[in-house]
Structure 1
Amino acid sequence: MDGHDSQDSKQSSADMTVFVQNLLQQMQSRFQTMSDTIVTKIDEMGNRVNELEQSINELKAEMGVDGSPSPLPPSKLNSDEEKKEDGSA
């Protein structure tokens, strides 16, 4: 009987080892897929930010702004904001 129990125990341990190895391989594969997806999305986001920055710079150049302050004087901006708040705009 002891020999039979020992064999069942060895087989059970082998089965458990194979199960755990397969589970770890599946987890590693899923983590790798998620990691690749995240890196791809970050790269895409970086490209979109660069394109947006380039578009903003092109618009500034077209307007002739190039980093200068707002074309409207502050008093003009404040009066426009007050009109919007009053509803008279």
Structure 2
Amino acid sequence: MDVHDGEDPKQSSADMSVFVQNLLQQMQSRFQQMSESIVTKIDEMGSRINELEQSINDLRAEMGVEGSPSPMAPSKQISDEVKKEEGCA
């Protein structure tokens, strides 16, 4: 054991270094997975919002809101403004 006692601090330091490197790699991998998951969920939410917007526009068209004056007219103006802005973007 006397032989190992001389090298033990070096080995212990090397082991600790390897342990810390592995731990950092695991943390980085988990962070990357979480980031990708968040981005995927944001993309899915964007798609759902687009689908919802399309469904609302389809329903409004079916109801004839666009062709007749109604209390919905102010929101139609807002919708038209949004469409114009999206067209410019």
TM normalised by structure 1 equals 0.68
How many angstroms does 1:5 deviate by?
4.8
- How many equivalent pairs are there? 69
Question: How big is the shift at 1:63?
Answer: 1.1
What is the identity percentage for the equivalent residue pairs of Structure 1 and Structure 2? 75
User: Hey, what's the Cα distance between the residues in 1 that align with 2:42 and 2:6?
Assistant: 53
Q: Which runs of 5+ in 2 are unaligned?
A: 73-89
Deviation of 1:57 after TM superposition, in Å, equals 0.5
Partner of 1:12: 12
Per-residue CA shift, 1:24-65, capped at 9, x if unaligned? Answer: 000011111111111111100000000000000111111111
Indicate the SS of the match to 2:51. helix
* Pair 1:47-2:47 in alignment: yes
Query: Could you say which structure has the larger radius of gyration?
Result: 1
After superposition, the CA RMSD in angstroms is: 2.2
Contact 1:60 1:66 in 2 (8 A): yes
Long gaps (5+) in structure 1: 72-89
Cα deviation for residue 66 of structure 1 reads: 2.7
2:81 matched to which residue of 1? none
Return the letter of the residue paired with 2:63.
Answer: M
1:31 aligned onto 2:31: yes
4+ aligned runs moved over 2 Å, structure 1: 3-6, 66-71
